[in-house]
Amino acid sequence: MTAVSPHRPPVPHDSAGSPATYVFAVCGPDRPARPGPAAGHPGGGPLRFLNVGSLRAVVQDVPADAFSESALRERLTDPAELERCARTHHDVVTAAADGGPTVPLPLATLYLGDERATAALGANQERFRAALDRVAGRVEWAVKVYLAQPGATTGPPAAAHTPARAHAPAPETGRGYLNRLRGLRQQRELRQDNALAAAGRV
């Protein structure tokens, strides 16, 4: 899913125990009283809906000090922690999408409380409605496409045979070297163009 950003909010600064509102996604009003089975971030409150005009946002109260700019910068530079946060975000968005059209928001979309979240998201209601209308009745698929290299064989590789050389190869000239690099670049670009064309046909 492609995230829609309602203008990147400032990350909450540490405050005396007040929670920040973490927003995962925006969906339509026709949802049950509580979001799906996903758990949200550890240490945060339960997932809940926040009314944003006629829309609803999937949110979680999280400790502002654990999600401050400095804390997030430190946590998200750790690859394992980044993966955990991204998976949690994805799991919540996926659970929300199981209930109907959903617009995911970027990882770590945070506000200092529901009032600010409602104001920021509410200012983008038309964009969210348009995105929800666009994805209604559709499903998301993940597809991997592998392009066979020209001349590639599917059988086992042949045993390498290197003929004996009577003389060492002549050193490459500067022009020859540049021509070889240009040829390699053109081959790489052609392979990429072919891969994009094949993906477009899928």
- Angle of CA points 38, 39, 41, to nearest 5°: 125
Strand order in the sheet with 55-63: 48-52, 55-63, 19-27, 102-111
CA atoms lying within 13 Å on the CB side of residue 7: 10
Alpha helices in the chain (DSSP H): 69-76, 79-97, 114-122, 125-135, 174-201
pLDDT number for residue 44: 92
Asked whether the beta carbons of 65 and 18 are under 8 A apart, the reply is no
Residue 182 confidence (pLDDT): 86
Please report, in tens digits, the pLDDT of each residue of the chain (202 residues total).
444 444 434 444 444 568 999 999 999 988 776 777 778 999 999 999 999 999 999 999 999 988 888 888 888 888 888 999 999 999 999 999 888 899 999 999 999 999 999 999 999 999 999 999 998 888 877 777 777 766 666 555 555 555 555 555 556 677 777 888 888 889 888 888 888 887 777 7
Containing 24, the helix (H) or strand (E) segment is: strand 19-27
C-alpha span between 79 and 8 (Å, rounded): 23
- pLDDT at position 38 is 79
pLDDT of residue 14: 42
Distances (CA, A) of 157 to 79, 153, 192: 37, 8, 24
| Cβ(26)–Cβ(121) below 8 Å | yes
Which residues lie across from 50 on neighbouring strands?
A: 57
